[in-house]
Amino acid sequence: MIGIIDYRAGNLTSVVRALNHLGESCRISDDPITLAQSSHIIFPGVGAAGEAMANLRRTHLDKWIIEWAHAEKPILGICLGTQIIFDYSEENDVQCLGLIPGAVKRFSTNLTHDGSDLKIPHMGWNYVEFRKAHPVFRGLPEGSEFYFVHSYYPVPAQNDLIVGITDYGTSFCAALAYKNVVAVQFHPEKSGRPGLTILSNFCRWGG
């Protein structure tokens, strides 16, 4: 059973649809006792870091997520769920969960590509260059693109945590891995076959 963390950050139904398509059993919950019965945890989300952290603290999910990760059980962060596993986010100037050393920064307002200004938020399909092998990213077709919607991006304190990068006027971390934690800034549940491959790999990964 795949547990999906509900902390009022939206986008949960898209994850459920993707898992259902893969034939994976899943449940959405904000109850740590219910989530603890899962084999894997997905930590998705869209929205603001400050509100997300407030909701996690209110439901005591902040401590539970840390306990789950420290127990070396598989966890997948998606978009906002990726950002708030870091130490700190510039969005709302908030301290986050601290599972991954590093910070989350806002894109500069003067990003350009081929002489044209780039819009913030970064929204749309982009190529991800996977620079190291990892079981969750195995079997992806060459040149795979993924769907992004974000104004902030993760900056791990250690470069060796970075698995994949994307360029949007600047190069940034789009996928990372640390022990039993894997996280992506893009939305695999909205990224067609390559995204489904990632979700399928994660559901079979032992952490």
Catalytic residue IDs: 79, 187, 189
Nearest to 74 by CA among 161, 186, 202: 202
Nearest to 92 by CA among 52, 149, 62: 52
**Rounded-to-integer distance, Cα 28 and Cα 110, Å:** 39
**Rounded-to-integer distance, Cα 118 and Cα 153, Å:** 15
Asked if residue 135 has a cis previous peptide bond (ω within 30° of 0), the answer is: no
Label residues 68-99 b or e (16+ Cβ within 10 Å = b). Answer: bbeeebbbbbbbbbbbbbbbbbebeebebbeb
112, 169 contact by CB (below 8 A): yes
